[in-house]
C-alpha cells in the first residue's frame, strides 16, 4: 500500500488525537485506482454510523455513488453529522436544495457543535445562505456564533476578502454585542453592505 493510503487509514481509524474530528483529506484526495475504490467503499460502509468526519471526507470524492449515498444519508442524519453531510453534498452538487435547507437549520441550532459545522458549510453554500447567516447574526444565543455568521455573510457577498477578515469590525461587533440601538444601526449598515433589500427581507431584526 502507498504512503497516502497508510496516512488516510491512520487518520480514519488510528488513535492519534489529531484526527479525532477529521480525516487526512490531502492523503485521501491523492489515492488512485484500487486504493481510491477501497477508500470509497470503506467510507460508505461507515456513513450510517453518524460520524461527521466520515461525512465530511466523502465531499472530496466526486463519484456518483457517493452523491447518491450522501443524499440518502441526509434524510436520516442528525445534528452535526447532518450538516457535515450537507456540506459534502454541496461540494459535489452545488446549490442542492435539501443540503441548503439542512445548512440553514444548522445555523439556527443553539447547539454550538451544529452551528459551527453550519458556518463551515455556509462558505460552500454561498449566496443562497446569506439571509440565514444574517438571521443567525441577529438571533443566535452565542455571541461568537453571531460574529462568525456575520463575518461569513460579508465574505460570501464579497464585502470582506475572507470570513477571517475584521473589515467593518464596528458593525460586526455592534450587531453581535451592542445595545439595542447599536444593534439596529449595525444591522441596517450590514444589510446595505451585503446588498440586501430590507423592504423585502423577511428574516429577524434586532
| Predicted confidence (pLDDT) at residue 1 exceeds the cutoff of 90 | no
- Residue range 34-75, pLDDT digits in tens: 999 999 999 999 999 999 999 999 999 999 999 999 999 999
Mean pLDDT of 25-34: 96
Query: CA geometry: angle at 178 spanning 176 and 179, to 5°?
Result: 135
Q: Given pLDDT bands bounded at 50, 70 and 90, which one contains residue 198? A: confident
CA 155/CA 129 separation, integer angstroms: 12
CA 99/CA 197 separation, integer angstroms: 25
Q: Are 157 and 195 in contact (CB under 8 A)?
A: yes
CA 59/CA 123 separation, integer angstroms: 14
pTM above 0.75, yes or no: yes
CA 137/CA 196 separation, integer angstroms: 14
Measuring CA to CA, which residue among 181, 180, 187 is closest to residue 146?
Answer: 187
Amino acid at each position: 500500500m502507498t504512503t497516502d493510503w497508510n496516512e488516510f487509514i491512520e487518520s480514519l481509524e488510528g488513535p492519534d488525537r489529531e484526527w479525532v474530528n477529521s480525516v487526512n483529506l490531502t492523503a485521501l484526495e491523492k489515492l488512485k485506482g484500487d486504493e481510491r475504490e477501497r477508500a470509497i467503499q470503506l467510507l460508505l460502509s461507515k456513513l450510517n454510523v453518524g460520524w461527521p468526519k466520515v461525512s465530511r471526507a466523502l465531499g472530496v470524492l466526486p463519484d456518483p455513488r457517493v452523491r447518491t449515498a450522501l443524499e440518502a444519508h441526509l434524510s436520516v442524519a442528525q445534528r452535526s453529522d447532518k450538516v457535515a453531510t450537507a456540506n459534502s453534498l454541496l461540494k459535489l452538487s452545488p446549490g442542492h436544495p435539501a443540503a441548503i435547507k439542512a445548512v440553514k437549520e444548522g445555523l439556527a441550532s443553539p447547539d454550538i457543535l451544529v452551528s459551527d459545522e453550519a458556518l463551515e458549510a455556509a462558505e460552500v453554500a454561498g449566496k443562497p445562505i446569506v439571509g440565514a447567516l444574517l438571521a443567525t447574526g441577529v438571533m443566535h444565543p452565542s455571541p461568537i456564533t453571531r460574529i462568525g455568521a456575520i463575518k461569513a455573510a460579508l465574505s460570501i457577498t464579497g464585502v470582506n476578502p475572507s470570513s477571517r477578515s475584521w473589515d467593518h469590525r464596528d458593525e460586526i461587533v455592534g450587531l453581535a454585542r451592542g445595545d439595542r440601538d447599536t444593534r439596529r444601526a449595525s444591522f441596517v449598515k450590514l444589510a446595505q453592505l451585503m446588498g440586501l433589500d430590507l423592504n423585502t427581507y423577511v428574516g429577524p431584526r434586532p
